[in-house]
Amino acid sequence: MKILGRISSINVRKVLWTADELGLAYTREDWGLPLRDPKVPDFLALNPNAQVPVLVEEGGFVLWESHAIMRYLSARGGVHRLMPPGAHEAAIADQWLTWGATELNPAWSYAFSALVRHAPGHDDPAAIETSRQRWTARMQLLDDRLAATGAYAGGAEFTLADITLGLSVHRWFGTPMERPALPHIDAYYARLQSRPAARAWLDPAVP
């Protein structure tokens, strides 16, 4: 299978980390600005959103949206290998996976774009501070959750939720700004970094 997307994209790294946790063989092609413009007909035929990641299987099956790809790869072969087997436990892990994408990530988007990417249009100090505070509030909530589970977001076992959340935690530590001490987040980050499949995708050189 082929995974299309640049590794500086957190959404691409979600899929790469998932594939590595599952021990899947794949090749990767750099797509996405500034490396390779996805707004070209060949790419748009695969994903009309002109966004990475895109999965292309040998049989011609094509899939976009990082979480759809993660769930598909995990469930390939009939059993969800990176989600718990019980219905309630799986739903709770999915809750945290969805929360990561819809609540946590939008909170840090402005601060990260400003302070790490120095992206044009992200230079308003008040907006940076608002984003930092929203991000901090959500990280405190995640810290409380990790205090309760003592291990991972869904519970005792590593799940897809920890891939999405782990990459956000990586950006939390990679963004130069004031951060409160969150000891359960510290321990979680160390726990994730010790996973062989995670190491390449939590590289401090690639925030």
Residues that bind ligand GSH (CB under 6 A): 9-11, 32-33, 38, 51-53, 65-66
Least separation in angstroms between residue 75's CB and ligand GSH is 17
- DSSP summary character for residue 28: E
CB closer to ligand GSH, 11 vs 136: 11
Cα–Cα distances in angstroms (integers) from residue 156 to residues 144, 146, 152, 202, in the given order: 15, 10, 6, 21
Least separation in angstroms between residue 38's CB and ligand GSH is 5
Least separation in angstroms between residue 101's CB and ligand GSH is 7
Interacting residues of 69 by C-beta distance below 8 A, sequence separation 6+: 14, 15, 18, 53, 55, 63
Least separation in angstroms between residue 57's CB and ligand GSH is 17
CB closer to ligand GSH, 136 vs 164: 164
CB closer to ligand GSH, 15 vs 198: 15
CB closer to ligand GSH, 46 vs 151: 46
HEC letters along 130-198: HHHHHHHHHHHHHHHHHHHHCCCCCCCCCCHHHHHHHHHHHHHHHCCCCCCCCHHHHHHHHHHHCCCCC
Least separation in angstroms between residue 68's CB and ligand GSH is 8
CB closer to ligand GSH, 53 vs 155: 53
Which residue number has the CB closest to ligand GSH? Answer: 32
Q: Give the total residue count for the chain.
A: 207
